[in-house]
Amino acid sequence: MLKHRSRLIGGAGALVTMAAIAVSGAMTASAAPTGAGAVTGTEHFQMMTTSGTGTTGSVIASGVFTAPAVDHEHQATNTITFTFANGTINIKHSNGTGTQHFDPKTCLMTISLHGTYKLTSGTGAYAGISGSGNYQLSILAIGASSGGKCVQNEPPVAFHQVINASGPVTLP
């Protein structure tokens, strides 16, 4: 989701990409009615993490479906997999566009990106799921420092990422 000029944030670039990937996959369903036909409506997703180096995050879906999930990011392919108790959902997302800023005096990094996602497949209770939507990613982080200077090739010392996504979904 995030193709940005990572020179500005150095090692944090990969973290931002993972975060954005997580947003595009923001899709879940908790209890699909059996034999009742397709369910269609707007789904809202929120992904959060405070790890600048992890590859998973927490997801909550609400709207037509409500369920928690674990987000597994595959940044090399701009895809993510949400793992629920009763199945998985695979998502493909666009590269994010937006703004980023790194203050070399305070080591504060801010990133705000937006983009689109598409639900590509599902398993278990989510087999046949389809949908797409938009996401907004926000990252606020403090980079590591050494000798009073920011070190951009080290993991951040503090990291907050929130991704909000929403769009129509159909679950057969």
Owner of token pair 């080591």: 107
DSSP character for 33? P
Predicted confidence (pLDDT) per residue in 100-156, tens digit = 999 999 999 999 999 999 999 999 999 999 999 999 999 999 999 999 899 888 999
User: How far is Cα of residue 96 from the mean position of the Cα atoms in its chain?
Assistant: 11
CA 89 and chain centroid, separation: 13
3-state helix, strand, coil in the chain (%, to 5): 10, 55, 35
- C-beta separation of 61 from 67 below 8 A: yes
Query: Which pLDDT tens digit goes with each residue over 51-70?
Result: 988 888 999 999 888 999 99
Instruction: Provide the whole-model pTM.
Output: 0.77
